[in-house]
Amino acid sequence: MVRLSKYWLCKRLVLYIALLIIAILMVSPFVWMISTSLKNGPDVFTPIPTLFPINQKTGNIYVTLENYHYVLVKKGFAIAFFNSLIVVGIVIPLKLFFDALGGYAFARIPFPGRDKLFLLLLSSMMVPGIALLIPRVYITKVLGLYNSLWGLIIPMSVSVFDVFLLRQFFLTLPRELEEAAMIDGASRLRIFIQIILPLSRPVLAVVTITSFIWHWNDLIWPLVIINTPSRYTLPLALALLTSGQSHKPHLTMAGAAIATIPILIVFLIFQKHILKGIALTGLKM
């Protein structure tokens, strides 16, 4: 018995050590990003990588935020950050409202042809996004949204997958709640806002977080819609910085950190929701 538990302990120790080494490898690009972004230009290119910024002449450890300041002010990252916030801040409530409204009707309010319509909607999920790109750009131009932040918002304001996800959730809610409210004379809209939405907080949270990550990171749509630097979003500003200044890693790393840190914070706060959501929906977030 004693020998067995010793073997057991040993095995577990090996497992943890292996996992820790892999975890360090996986996280090291992030650590390296932050570390480089805090260094002055001359101290970046060292034959032996240093975790902390060390002045190559004097050997002193220091920290500088100069790169962040430069990228934010001179390279338009402050504006881009603000633009990203605006887009995400408008697109998510809009999308949540439209998707939930539609999902609720598809789940609960019968009308002629409803299920056929829903099937038609679902079939559109088979088409890869890239196949829709060019006509979408064209229709965005026709609607007069080209090169504006609204062009990043309106064409992204509904997600069929989220309609589907919400509908499936609404189907699981007990009908009695709605019926009771209806007997009391509440309208459908009121039932939807005052009963259904509060009950759907968990699934709305999943949709919110996935949307946030998706829209915050999206590169290709802003890339084809926006061509004025003052309307760039963060990924766009970063793509431009990287292609122009790749010989100055301390600047590009500061830019990458600005684009990444908000997502990391959101992820660390909501990690339980997110990881559970993936396992439940099979949805990549």
Partner 1 sequence: MFRDTLKIVYNRYLKKITMSSFRHGESLIGILFVTPVVLYFLIFLLYPVLGALYYSFTEWNMRTRPVWVGLWNYKHLLFDRINYPYFWHSLGVTAKYTGIAVPLSFVTALVLALLINAVQRGQDFFKVAFYLPVITAGAAVATMWRWIYDPLYGLLNIGLKAVGLQPQRWLGEPRMIIPALAIISAWQCGFAMIVFLAGLASIPSRLYEAAEIDGAGAWQKFRYITLPMLKPTTFFLLVTGLIAAFQVFDIVYVLFRTGGGTIGGPGQAGLTYVLSLFDHAFRYYEMGIACAMSFILFVIILIVTCLQFRFVPQSYE
Element (H, E) at 123: helix 114-123
Contact with partner 1 (CB under 8 A) among 1, 4, 63, 130 = 130
Residues 199-218 that bind partner 1 (CB under 8 A): 213, 216-217
CB closer to partner 1 out of 86 and 101: 101
The answer to whether 150 contacts partner 1 (rule: CB under 8 A) is no
Query: Position 212: which residue type?
Result: F
Q: Does 119 contact partner 1 by CB under 8 A?
A: no
Any contact of residue 77 with partner 1 (CB under 8 A)? no
Residue 155: CB minimum distance to partner 1, A: 5
Q: Does 106 bind partner 1 (CB under 8 A)?
A: yes
Interaction between residue 168 and partner 1 (CB under 8 A)? no
Pick out residues in 226-245 that bind partner 1 (CB under 8 A).
Answer: 234-236, 238-239, 241-244
Pick from 114, 179, 194, 201: which binds partner 1 (CB under 8 A)? 114
Instruction: Please state, in angstroms and rounded to a whole number, the distance separating the CA atoms of residues 26 and 285.
Output: 18
CA torsion sign for 36, 38, 40, 43 is negative
For partner 1, how many residues bind (rule: CB under 8 A)?
A: 97
Stretch that binds partner 1, among 54-62, 74-82, 200-208, 253-261 (CB under 8 A): 253-261
CA–CA separation, 56 and 48 (whole Å): 11
State the first-to-last Cα distance of the chain, in angstroms, to the nearest integer.
Answer: 45
Residue written as token pair 């559970």: 276
Smallest separation, CB 177 to partner 1 (Å): 17
Angle, helices 249-281/77-108, rounded to nearest 10 degrees: 10
| Separation of alpha carbons 243 and 225, rounded Å | 19
HEC letters along 248-277: CHHHHHHHHHHHHHHHHHHHHHHHHHHHHH
Question: Any contact of residue 63 with partner 1 (CB under 8 A)?
Answer: no
Binding map of partner 1 across residues 181-200, x = CB under 8 A, - = no contact: -------xx--x--------
279 lies in the binding site for partner 1 (CB under 8 A): yes
Q: Is residue 74 within the footprint of partner 1 (CB under 8 A)? A: no
Question: CB burial class (10 A; 0-12, 13-18, 19+) of residue 273?
Answer: middle
> Cα-flanking dihedrals φ and ψ of residue 61, to 5°?
-85, 135
Contact present, 97 and 157 (Cβ < 8 Å): no
Q: Which stretch binds partner 1 (CB under 8 A): 64-72, 154-162, 172-180, 198-206?
A: 154-162
* Min dist. Cβ of residue 230 to partner 1 (A): 19
Task: Please check whether residue 226 is in contact with residue 153, taking contact to mean a CB–CB distance below 8 angstroms.
Answer: no
Binding segment (CB under 8 A) for partner 1, from list 56-64, 71-79, 124-132, 197-205? 124-132
Name the minimum Å distance from CB 243 to partner 1: 4
**One-letter amino acid identity for 177?**
L
Q: Show the binding pattern over residues 26-55: x = contacts partner 1 (CB under 8 A), - = does not.
A: xxxxx-xx--x-------xxxxxx------
Q: Does 70 bind partner 1 (CB under 8 A)?
A: no
